[in-house]
Amino acid sequence: MQPYPDRWPNLASLLMVSMMGAAVLTLLPLWVGGLSDQGNFTESQVGWLAAADVIGIFASSASALFWVRQLPWRPVTLAGLALFLGGNLLSLDTDSFTLLMLFRILAGLGCGAAYAVALAGLGDHRRPPLAFGLMVTAQVTFGTLGFFAVPRIMELWQVNGFFHYLNGWLVATLVACTLAFPVSGRESRAAGPAILTLLHRRSLLVFATTVVYYCGVSAVWAYLERIGVDMGLDGARVGDLLGIGFALSGLGSLATPLASRALGRPAALVNTFAVQVATLALLMGQADVNAFLLYAATSIVFQFFWSFTIPLLMDQFNRVDDTGRFIVLCASAFKVGEILGPPLAASAIQPWGYAGVLWLGIGCMVLALAMALVTEGWQPSTQAAPVPGTP
């Protein structure tokens, strides 16, 4: 077995790590819903707890720009996953806001380190858009199962059930990474001033685009379950609809390479953002439509095109750098947006209700589309280097 991401056992371990890297965001509506139902925290505290993991993930994944091509990948990944697992265990039965914030940030630090390595490995793949599409599909599989399983687990163990579900997958991921994990396929380079050469106007715009997009997505996603309940739907029924939407959204990430090749990246970006904005606008007109049908259609379509968008944005990271380092900041961009989104959404609920959350999402998506199209107007200077030893 060659130690490169193109080999299926190694690719599978990378996909499992990337799946866990987005685990908390994937199930964020259930995490927020569980905290809200528990009643131990204020709306503002719930918003910050929703962002706590992301704070840790951002800190460790951002630092990966300096070490991801220097340190051995397997030990770093195993240590990160173990720290994630430990943070989940410490979070069990914790009803102190301060302690729970600290434990979730600790879990995020471990999660972010492992996630950064996985992104670098997927960027080394011979066909990065395919690898990133498979990554989203793996995350969708995790979420689909979670939206059906976690609400029922939480009926038995309340919020602790959320951590039990995460820990079961983390144990399986630790086993997979122990058995098969790739090494870096790019030449190791010094992390000194050369890092600064990666931070030019095109790369900074790509980073900012993803931050803005994920600010809007995470704001809506954090409260999408609450929006369904506010429309008069049963919580379990809402969870089932979100699970169905997640299952179908896997087709979105798989369709991205085909659609971007047929339409071109700019047209694919315009279409996916337009549909997402339309779904959020429709949710604000809920009074004149059957609530169940409206929520089912909009939540499913929103998730499909969210998954469709991610590989397009990730490919922009890969196209502005040929050293294989800048891609790790994709995770940091996701997390900055996720840090900002839920607290901003929580602050918008008091004066405007859930309509404020939807308007926040629309504004972020319109701005992100404009930024992404500017990036597409620039010609990439280089393409990602091929992985040694691959066909």
Domains contained in the chain, CATH given: 8-183+198-377 (1.20.1250.20)
What pLDDT, on the 0 to 100 scale, is given for residue 194?
52
Q: Please give the C-alpha separations between residue 381 and each of 113, 132, 321, in angstroms, as whole numbers.
A: 29, 21, 8
What pLDDT, on the 0 to 100 scale, is given for residue 235?
76
What pLDDT, on the 0 to 100 scale, is given for residue 131?
84
Tokens of 237: 């029924």
What pLDDT, on the 0 to 100 scale, is given for residue 134?
86
Helix-, strand-, coil-residue percentages of the chain, each rounded to 5: 80, 0, 20
What pLDDT, on the 0 to 100 scale, is given for residue 66?
85
Sequence length of the chain is 391
DSSP code for 322: S
Q: How far apart are CA 128 and CA 124, in angstroms?
A: 7
326, 65 contact by CB (below 8 A): yes
Exposure class string for 196-208: b at 16+ Cβ within 10 A, else e = eeeeeebbebbbb
Q: pTM surpassing 0.75?
A: no
272, 308 contact by CB (below 8 A): yes
Residues of the chain under the 50 pLDDT cut: 1-2, 189-193, 381-391
